Amino acid sequence: MNNTNGKIDIRSLSLSTLQEHFIRMDEKSFRAKQVYEWLWKKSCFSFNEMSNISKELRTKLDDNFVINNVKINSSQVSADKTIKNSFILHDNHLIEGVLIPTPGRMTACVSSQVGCSLTCKFCATGYMERKRNLNPDEIYDQVVLIDKQARENYGQPLSNIVYMGMGEPLLNYANMMKSIDRITSEDGLNMAAKRITVSTAGIAKMIKKLGDDDVKFNLALSLHAANDEKRNTIMPINEQNSLKALAEALKYYYAKTKNPVTYEYIIFDGVNDNIQDAMELAKFCKHLPCKVNIIEYNPIAFASYINAGEDKVEAFAAYLTKQGINTHLRRSRGKDIDAACGQLAIKEKDKLAEV
- Which tens digits make up the pLDDT trace of 268-292? 988 999 999 999 999 999 999 999 9
Give which of 240, 246, 245 is closest to 221, Cα–Cα: 246
Q: What is the CATH number of the domain that holds 349?
A: 3.20.20.70
- Is 43 annotated as a binding-site member? no
- Is 93 annotated as a binding-site member? no
Question: Would 198 be classed as within a structural domain?
Answer: yes
Residues 91 and 107 reside in one and the same domain: yes
Question: Would 321 be classed as within a structural domain?
Answer: yes
pLDDT digits (tens, 9 = 90+) for 44-101: 999 999 999 999 999 999 999 999 999 999 999 988 899 999 999 999 999 999 999 9
- Is 44 annotated as a binding-site member? no
Count of domains observed in the chain: 2
pLDDT of residue 353: 36
pLDDT digits (tens, 9 = 90+) for 286-319: 999 999 999 888 777 667 778 888 899 999 999 9
Host domain of residue 49:
8-66
Q: Answer yes or no: 290 catalytic.
A: no
Residues 76 and 61 reside in one and the same domain: no
Question: Would 227 be classed as within a structural domain?
Answer: yes
The catalytically annotated residue of 96, 138, 264, 280 is: 96
Residues 222 and 340 reside in one and the same domain: yes
Which of 24, 42, 66 is the last residue before a domain boundary?
66
Residues 192 and 301 reside in one and the same domain: yes
Question: Would 242 be classed as within a structural domain?
Answer: yes
Q: Answer yes or no: 96 catalytic.
A: yes
pLDDT of residue 184: 98
Mean pLDDT of 180-203: 97
Question: Would 223 be classed as within a structural domain?
Answer: yes
Q: In the predicted model, is pLDDT for residue 350 greater than 70? A: no
Task: Write the DSSP assignment of 180-219 as a string of letters.
Answer: HHHHHSTTTT---GGGEEEEES--HHHHHHHHHTT--SEE
Mean pLDDT of 1-27: 88
The catalytically annotated residue of 109, 285, 290, 341 is: 341
Which of 66, 81, 97 is the last residue before a domain boundary?
66
Question: Would 3 be classed as within a structural domain?
Answer: no
Question: Would 2 be classed as within a structural domain?
Answer: no
The pTM of the full predicted model, rounded to 2 decimals, is 0.90
Residues 121 and 232 reside in one and the same domain: yes
Residues 179 and 31 reside in one and the same domain: no
Which pairs from 324-328 meet CB under 8 Å and 24+ separation?
A: 325/282, 325/285, 325/290, 325/291, 325/292, 326/290, 326/291, 326/292, 327/291, 327/292, 327/294, 328/291, 328/292, 328/293, 328/294
